[in-house]
Amino acid sequence: MLGTDVAARLKTLDADFLGIDRDELDITNKSAVFDFITDYKPDAVIHCAAYTAVDNAEEDFETCMRVNSDGTDNIAKACRAVNAAMLYISTDYVFGCDGELPYETDSPKNPLCIYGKSKLAGEESVLQNVDKSYVVRVSWLFGHNGNNFVKTMLRLAQMNDEIRVVDDQIGSPTFTEDLAILLCEMIMSEKYGVYHATNSGFCSWAAFANEIMTISGNACKVNSITTEQYPTKAVRPLNSRLSKASLTKAGFAELPDWKDALKRYFS
């Protein structure tokens, strides 16, 4: 979902780039990653690959860690070998779930599930191995490629007059096309560091679902429920608010409001 939009953005910028998928390179294969990157000798790598099946990760934790932790470590060390910059996509799941204040980039980490722990391990590897590194935490991604919450809500609305959606988890829906623009600007800036990059504004999943129904013209009713009423294998953070102060300080513009992004997604 994100990688496709990043590649599309790089193309519009007339950048010399190579976009690859897992059929072409298994990032968990250390020697394959090293050979590929040292042969291509990139100036920079934008690492969008990840194991993102949050609930499955609780039982398939070895695969999750192998992709998100070991795979990232393989890329980081290969980047170090060719002195390439590396941009790593991380997540709000590296934090806990307490409070209502947005997390700063240096807020204490307390991942509550295997997925969050695997992404934090990836962060640590990038920061330890790559001098020219960017760690970019994102949340609630939606886009035209791949599966996401918007597509799920539209599918459920076709089959149901009413749906139940969690209303006590708060975060920022983020349009991958907006995010891709920022990531490409960032990778060319040499402003290395840790960032939070989401569309502006906060809402609950239920509020997000309501906006989806409104913009798409669906009459499906969204009923609000609590996280406790919708148990899942993996613990989700109640507070996924991320402060964008790091972007402002570095001179990057914040992404547009999530409602504006959702309208553009449908248009």
**Looking at residue 171, what is its pLDDT?**
97
Per CATH, the number for 2-148+172-201+240-255 is 3.40.50.720
Of 189, 208, 165, the closest CA to residue 247 belongs to 189
Contact 176, 197 (CB under 8 A): no
Give the residues across from 244 on adjacent strands. none
Both tokens of residue 86?
Answer: 């590396």
Q: Can you say whether the dihedral through the CA atoms of 32, 38, 39, 41 is positive or negative?
A: positive
* SS3 call for 67: helix
Per-residue pLDDT of the chain in tens (267 residues, 90 and over written 9): 999 999 999 999 999 999 999 899 999 999 999 999 999 999 999 999 999 999 999 999 999 999 999 999 999 999 999 999 999 999 999 998 778 999 999 999 999 999 999 999 999 999 999 999 999 999 999 999 989 999 999 999 999 999 999 999 999 999 999 999 999 999 999 999 999 999 999 999 999 999 999 999 999 999 999 999 998 999 999 999 999 999 999 999 999 999 999 999 999
Q: Of 51, 88, 93, 115, which is the active-site residue?
A: 115
| 115 a catalytic residue | yes
Q: How far apart are the first and last CA of the chain?
A: 18
Residues 6+ apart with CB under 8 A from 44: 84, 85, 86, 87, 132, 187
Of 112, 3, 126, the closest CA to residue 54 belongs to 112
HSE toward the beta carbon, residue 223, CA cutoff 13 A? 9
Both tokens of residue 126?
Answer: 């990038």
Alpha helices in the chain (DSSP H): 2-12, 30-40, 54-57, 61-65, 72-82, 114-129, 149-159, 176-187, 205-216, 245-250, 258-266
